[in-house]
A and B are shown apart, each in its own frame.
Chain A
Amino acid sequence: MNTTKATRHVNQNEGLIFEKSSPGKAAWKLPPLDVPEVDVDVALGSSARKDLGEMPEVSEIEIIRHFTRLSTWNYAIDLGMYPLGSCTMKYNPRVNEVVVRLDRLANAHPYAPEKISQGAMRILRVLSDALIEITGMDTITLQPAAGAQGEMTGLLMVRAYHESKGNARKKVLIPDSAHGTNPATAAMVDYAVENLKSNERGTVDVSALASQMNEDVAALMLTNPNTLGVFEDEIHKIADILHAKGGLLYMDGANMNALVGKARPGDFGVDLMHLNLHKTFSTPHGGGGPGSGPVACKQILEPFLPSPVLISKPDGTLGFDYDRKQSVGRVRAFYGNFGMFVRALAYIFANGPDGLRQTTEDAVLNANYIRKGLTGTFDLPYSTPSMHEVVFSDKLQNKNGIKTMDLAKRLIDYGFHPYTTAFPLIVPGALMIEPTESESKEELDLFVEAMKSIAQEAQQNPQTILDAPHNTRISRLDETAAARKPILRWKRST
């Protein structure tokens, strides 16, 4: 191992919180009650609870140490490059975290009268306008809680649109390179999924599309750039084929980080799309969420937006319109993940038009730099130009018995988070690398050096890779045992 980035991970032991609990310890203190106490048994009768079982009893310092120690077992963007393809792990600006905690934003009740919610609604409006301009669409809903829910909202709108024309249609076309949420979403809104094969360039096979397209097809769900990081350069033909038979073009905006400020889906024939504010617009991934999945669309789909819709009133104030006859309904309570809106808007302000364009350019520059650095060392199954991410395969390492997940585990020893493994499905043994714009040339050089070093190890000492990671607190975990006899909660051992 010969890169300067390689490092040991923190190794402090820490048990489960339940193992630190003992009766009488406490981290809480309530003020004295200023109203008469209530006899719980009298007030609640048979609904009264007797005790809270094994809930922990610990002091404040123990809680601080517990979670601080746990935190040190996590890798994070703040520690280094996190090149998970299709996840866009970019820097999460700290000013976002400050403004979202401003008292009257953090403590705004969703049902507070409109008169004292104008500031919050102004944030919704300004963010909506910015996202509409960025996507080249006509209107937007911010309600969906994450990308997958955005997809569901979008397909519900597709269905409602077709129903309004008298025929809901039966199926949705999805390329074989698509993210798993796409087919899962289609199933949730009761559309059959029809697979669309990619061509030898890794893009949509336009002639196959033309032959599969008919009046039963409600929409094509297309990720662009697709999961190979390749821009669908025949997008205008794709849109024309769809539209000629009355179908709609839905774009999964997971890879919008390749386009912001450089190209707008609304300009190249997309009818509706979702954005992932936690990817493209820098809201923190938080160990798996929360996200936010606004859906932007063309005017023809506006009547079907989820209810309520933000409106400007004649007196210049903002309000919500709940009276939406053709709406697909509500997809979640209240108005969406407002905290993510605040953060995304702060990010847009920090960038402005020039910053957003430079961001996109740097994201694409970084991916191509890695591609250049690793081509030859790793197999590049599709030579089509890359945008914001590059997908290699483990083919060259297979002959030494090494698979993509093994390489990924070894990369951990070099101090990086692994890339996305084994996806997209059209590339057997995929290494899907998305550096984002947040990496310096120095960090990229270290990454390339680490990957090359691992490739060398694969030839010279494959066992080192198969046993990796070596420098973490724990080694590879037995996932089979975890699934066979699931232990999903702590229980006091008897």
Chain B
Amino acid sequence: MRYLPKSPGDREAMLRTIGAGSIDDLFSPIPAEYRLQRDLQIPRQMAESEIVDWFQQRARENGEGCTVFLGAGAYNHYRPVIIDSLVSRGEFLTSYTPYQAEISQGTLQAIFEFQSMICELTGMEVANASMYDGSTAAAEAIMMAVRVTGRNSAVIARSVHPEYQEVVKTYATHQGLPLNTVNFGENGRVDLQALEQAITDNTACVLIQSPNFFGTIEDVAAIADLAHSKGAMLVVSIAEAISLGIVKPPAEADIVAMEAQSFGVPLGFGGPYCGVLATREKFVRQLPGRLAGQTTDKNGNRGFVLTLATREQHIRREKATSNICTNQALVALMANIFMTVYGRVGLRELAKQNLAKAAYAADHFGREAKVLFAGAPRFHEFVVQTTEDPSVINSRLLGHKIVGGFPLKRAYPELGNASLWCCTELTTRSAIDTVCGLISEYEETAKTSEPRMQEVAQ
């Protein structure tokens, strides 16, 4: 086996040194009846060329060269090539959690820079080294709010990513944590009146997403006022990190629960992505996850260490802030490099292109079908209502190598034939024009055939 650095002679010599007659002697602690006496029934050992070939075949089965209008929590942005050049360095790729600070300064300083940039972008004072993803970050933020406030329930906006809502529910169910959901209004934003009624003096926090699942930017300040006036915290989830280049940071929030996938992380069929939690300094001891902090060595040199570990499971066990151990470090490094590449000016320009593409697309879609939730600002996603079921439209579009918007029927049946469309800097004008042309055709046919269908039905 090519990964194993031993000759048969080495193995024999080592067994002799140990004083074992055979390798099986070393497995004798396992009762004989449980020792596997056959080969595992898995594919045979393959050559490297065969492995590459096998995965290339799977890649081909995944369909070819489609233009994708999907977002919905996983965004297609350009990834600068230096991200992979740098994260492929073995010193980053094949190291582990930087417990031994003296030989982990590379990872530690990178985390410190990551934390600093996340603070800068979100308007928060401290950020952790990463969480699994945006959904678990949101769930952990709610549990953190429960610890901080001593209150025992949470209010969640229905305009939060439906899968994030499901994850929050899974985490909350066994914490004895009732969840109230609050609907969205005509403009796609959280219904403020309903929110006011939903917050009680047992509400630990309000969870919203901005830009929300429909791409609409919430009135964070107004929601913060409502929550704070009743002693509840505000948790803002951000699924599209690029929005921070151009959308005011949710500085009024108490906790920001982010998904940083947009910062240079491949779509990769849904993971690994990069969650992050950021908050106020005064709440830092209730923050889960790892933190890198600056300090000095005995010669006064600046260096970085993992700090405030008394929050964590390896010290506090069942009294820890969370059970999280392994996080998303290498993915956070991708995000770190991405943020460094675009920086203060580039992130803004990048976000502006996303805004412009979506504005153009929404405008053109609006001429062929109904674009919902006008009257509130949006970033780069918008909801389109069609005459036909979006799944039917999407399967037709697929024939033209176009992947249409995300159908909303499962999570939002009240919106009818609605789907969520996304444009990024990678979406070309000609692709938008093409898809609008096709939608126009489909709508035309659907509208004219609809009365006829009704006649038939009668």
Contacts and interface: CB of A to CB of B under 8 A. Distances in A.
B251 to A, nearest CB: 11
Given A148-B326, A481-B295, A236 B31 contact: yes
B163 A334 contact: yes
Contacts of B325: 146-148, 180-181
Given A87-B96, A286-B333, A490 B284 contact: no
B318 A440 contact: no
Interface stretch (A294-302, A323-331, A393-401): A323-331
A372 B133 contact: no
Given A49-B249, A118-B62, A440 B93 contact: no
A332 B293 CA distance: 28
Interface stretch (B116-124, B195-203, B435-443, B447-455): B116-124
A122 B31 CA distance: 36
Nearest to A18: B116
Contacts of A47: 217, 247-248, 377
A349 B45 CA distance: 6
Interface string B99-138: 0111111110110110111011100011101101111100
B96 A99 contact: no
Interface string B305-338: 1011110111111111011111111110100010
B100 A418 contact: yes
Interface string A70-101: 11111111110010100101011101011111
B457 interface: no
A452 interface: no
A29 to B, nearest CB: 9
Given A99-B55, A339-B266, A474-B301, A441 B13 contact: yes
Given A35-B429, A290-B328, A340 B86 contact: no
B116 A489 contact: yes
B327 A289 contact: yes
B51 interface: yes
A37 B332 CA distance: 32
Contacts of B409: none
A423 B315 CA distance: 11
Interface residues of A, number: 206
B92 interface: yes
A385 B94 CA distance: 30
B167 A120 contact: no
A220 interface: no
A159 interface: yes
A357 B48 CA distance: 19
B456 interface: no
Nearest to B331: A290
A60 B326 contact: no
A100 B45 CA distance: 19
B92 A346 contact: no
Contacts of B50: 349
Interface centre among B6, B85, B134, B249 (most CB of A within 10 A): B6
Contact of B100 (A33, A417, A475): A417
A439 B5 contact: yes
Contacts of A87: 96
Interface string A467-494: 0010011111111011100111110000
A284 B330 contact: yes
Contacts, number: 689
A477 B296 contact: yes
Contacts of A371: 18
A321 interface: no
A68 B89 contact: yes
Contacts of B432: 35
B109 A35 contact: no
Interface stretch (B145-153, B228-236, B352-360): B352-360
B26 A30 contact: no
A268 B398 contact: no
A438 interface: yes
A333 B19 contact: no
A151 B85 CA distance: 34
Contacts of A462: none
Nearest to B11: A365
A347 B134 CA distance: 29
Interface stretch (A105-113, A208-216, A243-251, A453-461): A105-113
Nearest to A306: B170
A73 B104 CA distance: 6
B97 to A, nearest CB: 4
A17 B247 CA distance: 24
Contacts of A152: 323
B245 A149 contact: no
Contacts of A490: 112-113, 116
A315 interface: no
Contacts of B394: 113
Interface string A180-217: 11011111111001000000000000000000000000
B327 A288 contact: yes
A311 interface: no
B412 interface: no
Interface in A152-192: 152, 156, 159, 179-181, 183-190
A98 B14 CA distance: 34
B92 A231 contact: no
B98 interface: yes
B186 interface: no
A30 B120 CA distance: 23
Interface string B391-417: 000110010000100100010000000
B194 interface: no
Contact of A349 (B2, B5, B54, B245): B54
Contacts of A262: 27, 30, 35-36
Contact of A27 (B246, B333, B340): B340
A385 to B, nearest CB: 5
A57 B345 contact: yes
Contacts of A16: 109, 112-113, 116
B120 to A, nearest CB: 5
A306 B173 CA distance: 14
Given A156-B174, A290-B331, A349-B51, A409 B62 contact: no
B317 A76 contact: no
Contacts of A253: none
A184 B52 contact: no
B293 A478 contact: no
B223 interface: no
Interface string A285-319: 11111111000000000000011000000000000
Contacts of A14: 109
A49 B343 contact: no
B29 interface: yes
Contacts of B337: 63, 67
B157 interface: no
5 contacts: A9-B103, A40-B355, A278-B326, A290-B331, A473-B301
Given A38-B352, A233-B29, A339-B271, 15 more contacts: A26-B346, A115-B398, A148-B324, A181-B325, A287-B104, A290-B326, A340-B271, A364-B23, A373-B17, A469-B102, A474-B102, A476-B102, A479-B305, A481-B296, A489-B127
